[in-house]
Amino acid sequence: MKTDSTFVDYKTPDLSAPIRVGQSVSTTADMEALVREMLYTLGEDPQREGLLKTPERVARMYGELLAGYRTDLDTLINGALFESEYQDMVVVRDIQFYSLCEHHLLPFFGRAQVAYIPDGKIIGLSKIPRIVEMYARRLQVQERMTHQIAETLQEVLAPRGAAVLVEGTHLCSVMRGVKQENAHMVTSAMLGTFRDNESMRADFFNQLRLPTQPPAA
């Protein structure tokens, strides 16, 4: 490691032992020290005024952006499953999400559209956006995140079907590489009746084309 009078040295965490997914391998202090080392490696002075608190801020930021690893699904649902005779499609549209691409650690963000066909149970409205956020707040690829949302809804509710459509803008394609600022990725996951029934899939996509605001009375 490079050191000089302006750099605070630190003890590198032991990364040789196997870890479980979501298990922390360092403390906040370790993260701050790693950010200082990165700044130094980039040719910056971590001790100058504008950067003095940057390691602390970055450590807090990653704690927030990756909070999904620490989210417990049962705690998130918190019993908000209710018996219901409702059997038609439930759609929650335009759920905003922000995530980090696992390939470059750059953000990708967009909107998720989620639907399910109840089979005796419905879920509290706020829980679907929270499920989306739980998976978005991890190092992700959009394809996997889309399926995780659908599969979790299927597991929790056992509905007749679940559908998820995600559209995202990836800064790893906008800021670097091909630099296509208008390119968007669209992914979908169809389970149960949405996979087996073409008319049900069509109904889902038709629902997404409805006006966002209801017509005036």
Q: Of 44, 47, 104, 147, which is the active-site residue?
A: 104
Q: Which helix (H) or strand (E) holds 78?
A: none
Q: Of 32, 37, 133, 170, which is the active-site residue?
A: 170
Q: Of 32, 113, 133, 142, which is the active-site residue?
A: 142
Report the alpha-carbon distance of residue 174 to residue 182 in Å, rounded.
Answer: 8
147 in active site? no
- Long-range Cβ contact pairs of 174-180 (< 8 A, separation 24 or more): 175/106, 176/104, 176/106
Report the alpha-carbon distance of residue 117 to residue 203 in Å, rounded.
Answer: 12
Q: Of 147, 151, 154, 172, which is the active-site residue?
A: 172
Residue 94 CB-half CA count within 13 A: 7
184 in active site? no
CB 36 within 8 A of CB 7: yes
Closest CA to 194 of 150, 152, 157: 150
Alpha helices in the chain (DSSP H): 28-41, 54-65, 73-77, 127-136, 142-157, 171-174, 193-196, 198-208
Q: Of 101, 113, 140, 148, which is the active-site residue?
A: 101
Coil, helix or strand for 209? coil
Q: Of 87, 103, 143, 155, which is the active-site residue?
A: 103
Coil, helix or strand for 35? helix
Q: Of 102, 143, 155, 181, which is the active-site residue?
A: 102
37 in active site? no
Residue found by looking up tokens 């590198």 in the block:
12
Please identify every residue annotated as catalytic. 101-104, 142, 170, 172
